[in-house]
Chain A
Amino acid sequence: MIRDLRNPLQRARGLGSAKDGVGHWWTQRLTAIALVVLVLWFVVLVLGLLGHDYQAVRASIARPWNALLMIAFIIAAFWHSVLGLQVVIEDYVHTRWLEVTSMIVIKLLAFAGVLAGVLAVLRIALGS
């Protein structure tokens, strides 16, 4: 009696019919957990900076812990955004070339965004 029609190798790989397993799902949750902490930190930071002038805001972001957490926040936020937008696009964009093109555009934009954000924080932190 055959109970499972899947090839044993297929089951051992654990990648399922979508061919990439649970990687997307896990990364979305992992970045979500990171963002729970980072968003709270970010909101407290911004609320604390209200009404301060340019020098004060810049000096605050330049502090090592703030710079470090800001870079973590940027990476986690953009990564989480790409994963989320990917699900939306896969669900609603049914024209294949449009689906692929929007994913490429979103990923490149997010990558550029992360680079620009990290460079900005580094310039602020290192004073250049």
Chain B
Amino acid sequence: MAQTTRPLSPHLQIYKWQSQMVTSILHRATGIALAVGSLVILWGLVALSMGPDAWASFHAVAASPLGLVLLFAWTWALWFHFINGIRHLYQDAGAGYAISTFIKASWFSIIGSLVITLATWAYVFMGGAA
């Protein structure tokens, strides 16, 4: 390990938390979570191809309390990465760099993702499917 007697540059704990840095951190965190979640989609598809028994095992895990909590978390991760990703594409085009716009767009990613997640699960439960 590196010796840390010399002064180090300031890190996370010294900065005032801002919506822009929160969305940046969350974009990476949700990206990693979604990469892991894609393995669950894979499990579902492979189970579907194997037959009714394999599908029933998959369905039992997905519809269990822990499964539903994870699916809810993944739904939010998906919608956050989705909205914030579109924001990044927009910024990649060189737009939306005014600080006020940046802050507003960050909050839009956070609040928008929560709203769509709740709407998605409201549909799930009101559809009587659970």
Give the interface of A toward B (CB within 8 A).
29, 32-33, 35-36, 39, 43, 47, 50-51, 54, 57-58, 61, 70, 74, 77-78, 81, 84-85, 88, 113, 116-117, 119-121, 123-124
B85 at the interface (CB under 8 A from A): yes
Min CB gap B26→A, angstroms: 13
Q: How far is the CA of A25 from the CA of B110 in the complex (A)?
A: 24
Tell whether, in the assembled complex, residue B35 and residue A61 are in contact, meaning their CB atoms are under 8 Å apart: no
Name B115-130 residues within 8 Å CB distance of A. Answer: 120, 123-124, 127-130
Which B residue's beta carbon lies closest to that of A42? B41
Tell whether, in the assembled complex, residue B38 and residue A78 are in contact, meaning their CB atoms are under 8 Å apart: yes
B95 at the interface (CB under 8 A from A): no
Please provide the 3 A-B residue pairs with the shortest distance between their CB atoms, ordered closest to farther: A50-B129, A51-B129, A120-B49
Tell whether, in the assembled complex, residue A117 and residue B45 are in contact, meaning their CB atoms are under 8 Å apart: yes
Name B53-83 residues within 8 Å CB distance of A. Answer: 55-56, 78, 82
Contacting residue for A32 out of B39, B46, B49, B85, CB 8 A: B85
Q: How far is the CA of A68 from the CA of B92 in the complex (A)?
A: 29
Which A residue's beta carbon lies closest to that of B28? A88
Q: How far is the CA of A12 from the CA of B78 in the complex (A)?
A: 40
A51-B127, A85-B35 are known; give 7 further A-B pairs, CB within 8 A: A47-B123, A51-B129, A57-B48, A58-B55, A113-B39, A117-B41, A121-B49
Say what secondary structure dominates the interface of chain B: helix
Give the interface of B toward A (CB within 8 A).
28, 31-32, 34-35, 38-39, 41-42, 45-46, 48-49, 52, 55-56, 78, 82, 85-86, 88-89, 92, 120, 123-124, 127-130
Min CB gap B116→A, angstroms: 10
Tell whether, in the assembled complex, residue A54 and residue B55 are in contact, meaning their CB atoms are under 8 Å apart: yes
Contacting residue for B38 out of A88, A113, A119, A121, CB 8 A: A113
Interface centre among A39, A70, A120, A121 (most CB of B within 10 A): A120
Given A113-B42, A116-B42, verify A61-B129 contact (CB < 8 Å): no
Tell whether, in the assembled complex, residue B89 and residue A51 are in contact, meaning their CB atoms are under 8 Å apart: no
By a CB distance below 8 angstroms, the chain B residues around A81 are 31, 34-35, 38
Given A117-B45, A120-B46, verify A77-B38 contact (CB < 8 Å): yes
Tell whether, in the assembled complex, residue B92 and residue A29 are in contact, meaning their CB atoms are under 8 Å apart: yes
Min CB gap B56→A, angstroms: 7
Q: How far is the CA of A65 from the CA of B37 in the complex (A)?
A: 24
